Amino acid sequence: MTYALVSGIAASGFYMLISIGFMLQLRVADIVNFAHGCVVVAGMYLAIVFVNDSGMPYGLGVPLVVVAGLIPAWLIYEFLLRPARNQGHRMQIVVTILLLSILELIFAKAFGTDFKSIDITPQAWEIAGVNLRRETVLAFFIAVTICTTLFVVFRYTTFGKSVEVAGKYPEGARSVGLPVDRLYRIVFLTGTAMTLLAGALVVASDPATPFLGFEFVIIAVLITVAARLSFTGCAAASLLYGVGYAVLAKIFDSPEKGTIGIYLVFIVIIAAGPAISALSRHIPQRRQAAVPAPGAS
């Protein structure tokens, strides 16, 4: 059970990075980006190219992956996703699924369809009596540090408040002089950078294939929807997804039953969300009804 708990927590760092990246793009820039999963795959392949083909140390390759991946991401945002912003979520889903399909085929042509692993010597660290790969543990701590930093920035700084306002009230934000389009661009690229980083980190333990993108984005969508676009909710749902699956699989002694269990938990969370919101809207009114109106006899 300890192994299930520790490995589940370690895996949740990856889910945090991809789901918070997806959530930021949706919540602030109002873009449903199904090509997000391909960004993870791009991060994986870029890390493989830097480390395997260029002989770069893994530690140097990881930040370079982010820098190299942001350039095409910026171009895609400017020429494809920004125009799709005002077309509604349905059209954005179609555009980004097309983009995902195109990127998958480009990866397949460039790298082949076989599994590719990164050439680094595996080293294990012992955490709470459990041996885990060094990169997996580092990935978790990097993910938590980045997510915490971003949370603080978005919650407590002027920049973060500007981003929040630009996402919720774009017209009002423009009227007070906020550079709304630039803020959207920054947030989109921040989300992309987190996802590229997730790809560069996860490739240390999992091999890359071109067709993993859809699987990754589905996990990001599930976590984001269950968290109802909340920053802390995404972090909690990522932890639940990682730990919940590992623990349930251990309890039932079956990965398949672990999958069923975690999906049931997520169905309940997704379905209960709107009902809880509706209920919470009624509660203050009922409380208020008990309080006499000012001036009432």
Partner 1 sequence: MTAARLPGWSFFRRFGLSRLWAGAALAGLLVVLLAMPPGGWFDIDRPTMTGILLVAIFTYAWHPVGGVLGDLSIAHLVCWAGGGYACILAVNGGWSTPTSLAVAVPVGAVIAGVVVAFASLARLEGLYLMGFGLVLVFLASALVGQWAWLGGEQGLTATVLPLSPDDVYYLAVAFLVALIALNIVLLTSRRGLVWLALRDDPDRVSSTGWSPRTERAIAYTLSGALCGLGGALFALNVGFVSSTSALTLSLIIVPLLAIYVGGPGTIWGPLLGVALFEGLSTIATGNSKSADTAETVALAQYLVALVIVVLTMKSKRGRRGTRKTSVPERAAREMAATAAPAVAKIATPGGGKPDPLRVDGAAKSFGGLRVIEEVSFEVQPGEIVGLVGPNGAGKSTLCNIIGGSIRPDSGQVHLGRTDVTFWAEHRRACLGLGRTFQVPRVFASLSLQENLEVSHTRVSETAAASALMALGVNQPERNSDTASLLERRMVEIGRLTTAPPRWALLDEPLAGLTADEHDVILEQVRRLAAAGACVLVVEHLIPAIAPVVDRIVVLNDGRFVADGPPGEVLRDPVVVEAYLGQPIDLAQAAG
Burial class (CB in 10 A: 0-12, 13-18, 19+), 121: exposed
In terms of Cα–Cα distance, which of 251, 238, 169 is closest to 1?
A: 251
- Encoded amino acid at 217, one letter: V
Two tokens at 85?
A: 């912003």
Question: In this complex, which beta carbon is closest to partner 1, that of residue 96 or of residue 136?
Answer: 96
| Per-residue binder mask for partner 1 (CB under 8 A), 24-63, x = binder | --x-----x-------------------------------
Given the rule CB under 8 A, which of 91-99, 115-123, 143-151, 173-181 is the region that contacts partner 1?
A: 91-99
Q: Enumerate the H helices of the chain as residue ranges.
A: 2-27, 36-48, 58-76, 82-84, 88-111, 134-156, 158-168, 170-175, 180-202, 213-227, 231-252, 255-289
Q: Does 221 bind partner 1 (CB under 8 A)?
A: yes
Host H or E run for residue 125 = strand 124-127
Task: Identify the residue among 67, 75, 108, 152 touching partner 1 (CB under 8 A).
Answer: 108
- Chain positions 222 to 281 lying near partner 1, rule: CB under 8 A, are 222, 224-226, 256-257, 259-260, 263-264, 266-267, 270-275, 278
Task: List interacting residues with partner 1 (CB under 8 A).
Answer: 26, 32, 80, 83-84, 87, 89-91, 93-95, 97-99, 101-102, 105-106, 108-109, 214, 218, 221-222, 224-226, 256-257, 259-260, 263-264, 266-267, 270-275, 278, 284-285, 288-289, 291, 293
